[in-house]
Amino acid sequence: MEAKDNEKQELQEELKTEQTEKKESSWSTVGLEKEEKKDSKKKKNSAFTWVIRIIIVAILLLIAVFVLDTSKYYKNDDITDRTNLIINNNNVTARVKKDLIIENDVIFMSMSDIKNFFDKYIYEEKDEQMIITTYDDNIAEVGFTGNSISINDTTKRVKAVAIERNDVIYLPISEMTNVYNIELEYIKETDIVTMDSLKKEQVKAEVSKDISVKRYARILSRTVDKIESGDSVIIVTKRDDGWTKVRTQNGKIGFVKTNILQNEVIVREEEVIKKQVEGKINMFWDYYSEYRTAPDREGEEIEGVNVVSPTFFYIDGKAKFQDKVGQEGVDYIKWAHTNNYKVWAMISNTEASSIGGSSNILKVTSQIMNSYKLRKELINNIVNACEQYDLDGINIDFEYMYERDKDLFSRFIIELQPNMQRIGKVLSVDVTAPDGSPNWSLCFDRTVIANSADYIVFMGYDQVGGSNDTPGTTAGCNWVENNIVKFINNCDVDPQKLILGIPFYTRLWTETPDGKVSSRAVAIKDVESNIPSNVTKTWDEDLKQYFVQYKSRSEIKTMWIEDNESLKEKVSLVTKYNLAGVSAWQKGQEDSNTFRVISETLNEKQRID
């Protein structure tokens, strides 16, 4: 009995132990699950924390980028330590070399700044103790004493004249607004001077509400001015993004929304300069000496021609302007205008050789160029002749000048141009090829001449002149083209201001058995009669002309032929380089087809363009 009780007790203890183990096992499992859940939660919390951190960092980066990007639009880059200058709605203060001087309600601008903004060729005439400045059709003389200045030979009383401060010359630009064709205003409240060209369009508008004017075309940008409803602003430019650049009454430049502008008015229209000759210029020189009268061309019609240049005027051996128009010249002008040809009469200095030979040309021309009074006297004579004879322009043909007078010849052209422009006449200037001898080629500043005159004419001939002791072509096409490129690239000449001069002649060269070389000019119309019929012509592809060489008795004859075929090649360069046109030296040397070939070549090329 006792044994059974012991067994029963052992069984109960085993069951109890088993239950305890199960319970402990169950608790252990629950603990493990709790621990696992706890670890999972920790991991999730950690991952979430990192996500939050990443988002915060990204937001901070975005804010930093936004702040950095926006800060440049709030940067105050105004120049506040001197008077600001606004020219044609552009703040050019940073480019001003010398600060503006404002004294007794007069605004002075330095000569160097006037050179930069208005007249690049402003000039101090030390002998006359005055400043000569030109702009468009105006020429002004400003002295350092007195109370007047001269504008186009008319005296104007002014509050101030030129002054010199610390070796810097200043001009009273507020007294010279009609010289530079500007409207000038000084806004004392903002210390701003505005200058507006009277030849540029100006549009004004009103604002429909109070608004801040922004430095840039965006809302988040620095405010440069505040304007009220009804205020007037000058419209500078309209943009496609809904913003408009304006100038306020305070002289401030910034942006406003386009939709707040109303009642736009064109205050001033853009001045459009119309060329006297539309399309390519087809011109010729009509030469006759001082001992002859103008040719009678009554009844002639010349195909394609739109400009003629008769040699009406010259400088004589005593540096005097001479007129050889006469009644025949008056009839010539009438004939030209009847045929709708413009008359750009030539004035030459070469007839000064009639007294003292060719050396007198140098002397006489230098005498005129070195004197402001003589230059002015010659200019006045030219202007008076243009008006007297109803000419359309002048062609300056000055040859053989001292290289040392190069800048003074440029001054002559600079001073002549405003006078011609004011009376609506064209100024063209003949020059030689860029490279050559000092008194033949280096005496021209082609850049300045081209900038100042309406046209610069390259006399594309005498590549090898008659005085040479080695035979050569008068105008090889490759030489002509190379020089055109020099004009454009080296001399910075606008192609559309460059007229190509072409020759209506060539040279027949003769070499004797003892080696002496001479030549004589042969007109195109006479070429065939100067070459024996049995002589073979050889085409030179580089020169674009025929070449002949033959023996006549004991002499060797050589000719590089100038004919309609060679002229066509040269005329084609006008289109290739978009030049202004051609001019031929000289009328009367052509054959019956020459002008037709020139006209067809110009027109054909223009149609292709």
Find residue 140's DSSP bridge partners.
Answer: 133, 151
Percent of the chain with pLDDT over 90: 84
Enumerate the CATH 3.30.457.10 domain ranges in the chain, comma separated.
84-187
Condensed to tens digits (0 to 9), the pLDDT of residues 536-588 reads 999 999 999 999 999 999 999 999 999 999 999 999 999 999 999 999 999 99
Query: According to the model, what pLDDT value does residue 607 have?
Result: 47
Do 513 and 534 touch, CB atoms closer than 8 A? Answer: no
Averaged pLDDT, 228-240? 98
Query: According to the model, what pLDDT value does residue 4 have?
Result: 47
Confidence of residue 30 (pLDDT cuts 50, 70, 90): very low
pLDDT at residue 48 above 90?
no
Half-sphere exposure of 545 (CA within 13 A, CB side): 27
Query: According to the model, what pLDDT value does residue 447 have?
Result: 98
Enumerate the CATH 2.30.30.40 domain ranges in the chain, comma separated.
201-268
Condensed to tens digits (0 to 9), the pLDDT of residues 85-114 reads 999 999 999 999 999 999 999 999 999 999
Greatest CA separation for the chain:
176
Find residue 133's DSSP bridge partners.
Answer: 140
What one-letter code names the amino acid at 395? N
Fold of domain 201-268: SH3 type barrels. (2.30.30)
Residues 277/278/283/289 CA torsion (nearest 10 deg): 0
Condensed to tens digits (0 to 9), the pLDDT of residues 158-195 reads 999 999 999 999 999 999 999 999 999 999 999 999 99
Averaged pLDDT, 234-255? 98
Q: Please give the distance of CA 317 from its chain centroid, rounded to a whole number.
A: 38
Confidence of residue 35 (pLDDT cuts 50, 70, 90): low
Catalytic sites, residue numbers: 399
Query: According to the model, what pLDDT value does residue 70 have?
Result: 59
Which superfamily is assigned to 84-187 in CATH? Copper amine oxidase-like, N-terminal domain (3.30.457.10)
pLDDT at residue 608 above 50?
no
Characterize the bridge pairing of strands 545-552 and 538-540: antiparallel
User: Distance between CA 182 and CA 186 in Å, rounded?
Assistant: 13
C-alpha distances (whole Å) from 600 to each of 223, 309, 571, 593, 595 are 62, 21, 10, 11, 8
